[in-house]
Structure 1
Amino acid sequence: MDSTKSKAAENTGSDLSEQIKAVTKDSHVRAENTQLMLSYQKGQITQTQYKLLLCSLYEIYRALEEELDRNADHPAVQPIYFPQELARLEALGQDLEHFFGPQWRKRITVPAATHRYAQRLREIGKSSPELLVAHAYTRYLGDLSGGQVLGKITQKSLGLTGNKGILFFSFPGVTSANRFKQLYRSRMNSIEFTEQKRQEALDEAVRAFEFNIDVFDDLQKMLSITEEASSDKGNEAASQSLSKTFSSSPALQFALGVGITLATVGMGVYAF
């Protein structure tokens, strides 16, 4: 982390939650203002786009929650371990089944950036479980903060009824989002970190945002390729080139097959 971010953390006091907000401020703004996230907030999302969103979120949360479960007794994880209130994997599975059917596990595909994100979560789950705190905080509190808003946007944009297909945005175990976030921050701030480990946790929080921005960029590349394909159907050479590109990438095959025009992976509205 650069000196500017280090100073930002120092100027916010000793609370880890406030320090994370300070050091991730720039990445936070960048992530909020990607074309994909802005489009989502404007309600410009199709069912195809949303289905890819769910696929990526499932892969990310599967890695995060499996590692949290495995390290539930770790002194840095135990204080912020709230599976009944926060776990998203089951809800995501139900949403995917709604759109893809009973065999949804055989049909989902995610971009390479999502796999890298999940790989990092599994890596630190094995070697440095205390760093899971940074990822859990940025993901869960972001989704909890923006869940109601994004859920309504998705429901209206896709013409969904009830909670079918949007269970991811619902937190039935949390009666008051504001009170729960206060409790979560308090628990996280109580974790005892050495100065070195605290710095590593702050760096990891920045990395969490960067992983998400990488996912946005990966999906944007998929968009660009499909737009090029649709505007150049008569060019045989371009078609053959695209065919070779897509045959080498399962994620791009998925994009072409379903006709992706835009996709996004959200972290709520980033309001912690």
Structure 2
Amino acid sequence: GVNSKSSAIQNYCLVDLSEQIKAATKDSHVRAENTQLMLNYQKGQITQTQYKLLLCSLYEIYRALEAELDRNADHPAVQPIYFPQELARLETLELDLEHFFGPHWRKRITVPAATHKYTQRLREIGKNSPNLLVAHAYTRYLGDLSGGQVLGKITQKSLGLSGNKGVFFFSFPGVTSPNRFKQLYRSRMNSIELTEQQRREVLDEATRAFEFNIEVFDDLQKMLSITEEASSEFHEIQSKTFSSSPVLQFALGVGITLATVGIGVYAF
């Protein structure tokens, strides 16, 4: 009948996995770009504290994603989109973290609970359903290739950074033309053979990947507002009452630091 004909045409139009993902994640994509953190970022209202916290979360996310991609490099759904030379971000994030936190940066990484949830999911699918890694790789890498160039420039300008120091994350020396590379990546992705069921699962996972990113952005925003409120309250208290007592000043300072770390790790 007419119905089966129109649905066949619909399927034919969206036969490419990359197009299907784009359509399925359109709303989530818009929501991710409209989180408070990203809106501020796009306006160039990013502070060093914000950027450092964002780098910490990105580091944990890419550490999990790249470990699972490496482990599944020969899997039929991963192999076509496995481009470690061109895309891997872990080393660039390590350079950036070292720039801001110094040689012992690993001890200073703070991430909200949403980041742990995201990395747990990546490790779980890497172990049990490697097909789904495609959705996460596509969401993160193609997003970084698209928006990264702009965000990199904004970061440099907002934080007064020179050269690539602190913004290595945004540069892809292995990719000469981001647009051409994205075309290659999409065509490789479209060559992956999936059953209808597997394809649906990949589409659901792509939406989920955006949701994870939104949760991370929102949690970072909460962490930041708590940190900022705490430090401004502390300075107010400090100037009013305790300017005479260094011991109390110290106790208050430590209390606030512990509260922020605690909130960062457990509260959300």
TM-score (ref. length: structure 1): 0.83
Cα distance in 2, alignment partners of residues 99 and 244 from structure 1: 21
Cα distance in 1, alignment partners of residues 228 and 17 from structure 2: 43
Aligned to 1:24: 25
Other structure's SS at 1:171 match: coil
Aligned to 1:173: 174
Change in CA separation of 1:244 and 1:178 when aligned onto 2, cut-off 3 Å: closer
Detail structure 1 runs of 4+ shifted over 2 Å in the superposition. Answer: 9-12, 223-234, 241-253
Aligned to 1:110: 111
Aligned to 1:78: 79
Aligned-residue offset at 1:86: 0.2
Cα distance in 2, alignment partners of residues 103 and 156 from structure 1: 26
* One-letter amino acid matched to 2:209: A
Aligned to 2:160: 159
Aligned-residue offset at 1:109: 1.3
Cα pair 1:12 1:19 within 8 Å, conserved: no
Aligned to 1:130: 131
Cα pair 1:10 1:19 within 8 Å, conserved: no
Aligned-residue offset at 1:35: 1.1
Cα distance in 2, alignment partners of residues 94 and 184 from structure 1: 26
Change in CA separation of 1:243 and 1:141 when aligned onto 2, cut-off 3 Å: closer
Aligned to 1:52: 53
Change in CA separation of 1:208 and 1:108 when aligned onto 2, cut-off 3 Å: same
Change in CA separation of 1:42 and 1:48 when aligned onto 2, cut-off 3 Å: same
User: Which deviations, in whole Å up to 9, do the C-alpha atoms of 1:59-87 show, x marking residues without a partner?
Assistant: 00000000000000000000000000000
Other structure's SS at 2:163 match: coil
* Structure with the larger helix share: 2
Change in CA separation of 1:38 and 1:153 when aligned onto 2, cut-off 3 Å: same
Cα pair 2:226 2:260 within 8 Å, conserved: no
Aligned to 2:245: none
Aligned-residue offset at 1:220: 2.4
Other structure's SS at 1:160 match: coil
Task: Name structure 1 gaps, 5 residues minimum.
Answer: 1-8, 254-272
Other structure's SS at 1:175 match: coil
Task: Name structure 2 gaps, 5 residues minimum.
Answer: 1-9, 242-251
Greater Cα radius of gyration, structure 1 or 2? 2
Aligned-residue offset at 1:228: 4.3
Aligned-residue offset at 1:249: 3.7
Aligned length: 243
Aligned to 1:63: 64
Aligned-residue offset at 1:242: 7.0
User: Which deviations, in whole Å up to 9, do the C-alpha atoms of 1:196-254 show, x marking residues without a partner?
Assistant: 000000000000000011112212222343354335855x9xx8x9788546445489x
Aligned to 2:248: none
Aligned to 1:269: none
Change in CA separation of 1:10 and 1:100 when aligned onto 2, cut-off 3 Å: same
Cα distance in 2, alignment partners of residues 160 and 220 from structure 1: 23
Cα distance in 2, alignment partners of residues 244 and 105 from structure 1: 18
* One-letter amino acid matched to 1:212: N
CA RMSD of aligned residues (A): 2.5
Cα distance in 2, alignment partners of residues 12 and 37 from structure 1: 32
Aligned-residue offset at 1:53: 1.0
